[in-house]
Amino acid sequence: MARIAYHDADAEAFAATRHLTDDGLTAWRAAVARHLDPRPGMRLLDLGAGTGSWARAFTTWFPGVEVVAVEPSAAMRARCAFAPLVAGDAAHVPLADRSVDGVWVSTVIHHVPDLAAAARELHRVLRPGAPVLIRSAFAGRHEAITLFRYFPEAIRVLDSYPGVADVAAAFAGAGFSTVAVEPVPQVTAASLREAAAGLRREAHTPLQLITDGAYAAGLVRLREAARVEDGPVIDALDLLVLRRDGV
């Protein structure tokens, strides 16, 4: 099961605060295009699509690419404005064998209870040679994410997530090769003040899994810093690219 429930409160907070602007997504658009090589007629699976923001972005960025969104949480699906959207999870993707040309997995991999089962399922639905693009904060790689500067206790939560090597090993066992691991910058907020004003604990798994006292102390640190710091909040999450074998 997922690390948090993603019931209504979590889904509402996620929908309200976790969507990046078009400017914030610029580097992600370039990274996805480079590794996916999008073209008309391609079919892309957005696994753990949430409220559909990435699926909508892909259809805007890459005309002619068909995007299918799969999401396990009923609360998320209720808030998703993208179609087609179907219920499913990483171990149970309701698509035919060899029916997709790429898979996008954004800030989801730490909720997958059985990485090996997920890898086998994605190997099933992907066509030979197709990529899996995993956007995530991985264990041991917190330095480029602003949130952890103010909530250091959340680093321990992050370090309980799968690491890059863990994910790569699980997928290697199912017939995938690792192509790349690269940090991708994003403009998370126009300013630290904006980030502090819009922060919702329910929207961030690492913040939900620290104590109330640690969260309160971190919020004080964040708000104090927001009074004096200028400029946009630029974070970097990792993009792990894996490719299905050719048979």
Task: Identify whether the C-beta of residue 200 lies closer than 8 Å to the C-beta of residue 208.
Answer: no
pLDDT in tens, 105-115: 999 999 999 99
Q: Give the up-direction half-sphere exposure of residue 92: CA atoms within 13 A in the CB hemisphere.
A: 8
pLDDT tens per residue across span 120-158? 999 999 999 999 999 999 999 999 999 999 999 999 999
Q: What pTM did the predictor assign?
A: 0.93
Q: Is residue 215's pLDDT more than 50?
A: yes
Instruction: Please list the residues that pair with 177 across neighbouring strands.
Output: 243
CB 79 within 8 Å of CB 107: no
On whether residue 129 sits in a domain, the answer given is yes
Q: Which two tokens stand for residue 60?
A: 């805007």
181, part of any domain: yes
What is the full DSSP assignment across 14-51?
Answer: HHHH-PPPTGGGHHHHHHHHHHH---TT-EEEEET-TT
pLDDT at 14: 65
Give the CA count within 13 Å in the CB-facing half-sphere of 211: 4
Please check whether residue 109 lies inside any domain of the structure: yes
Q: Is 204 within the bounds of a domain?
A: no
The answer, yes or no, to whether residue 5 has pLDDT greater than 80, is no
Residue 239's nearest CA partner among 34, 24, 3, 11 is: 34
Cα–Cα dist 2/102, whole Å? 23
Whether residue 179 is contained in a domain is answered as yes
Let me know: does 208 contact 202? Beta carbons within 8 Å. yes
Assess if residue 105 is contained within a domain: yes
How many Cα atoms occupy the beta-carbon half-sphere of 168 within 13 Å? Answer: 12
Q: Read off the pLDDT band of 1 (50, 70, 90).
A: very low
Q: What is the mean pLDDT of residues 76-102?
A: 94
Number of structural domains in the chain: 1
CATH number of the domain enclosing 51: 3.40.50.150
In contact, 136 and 163? CB cutoff 8 Å: no
pLDDT score at 21: 80
Note down the domain range covering 73. 8-144+160-188+236-244
Give yes or no for residue 37 having a pLDDT over 80: yes
Q: Give me the DSSP letters along 138-156.
A: -TT--TT-THHHH-TTHHH
- Give me the pLDDT at residue 23, please: 78
Which SS3 state, helix, strand or coil, does residue 68 take? strand
φ and ψ of 197, to 5 deg = -65, -35
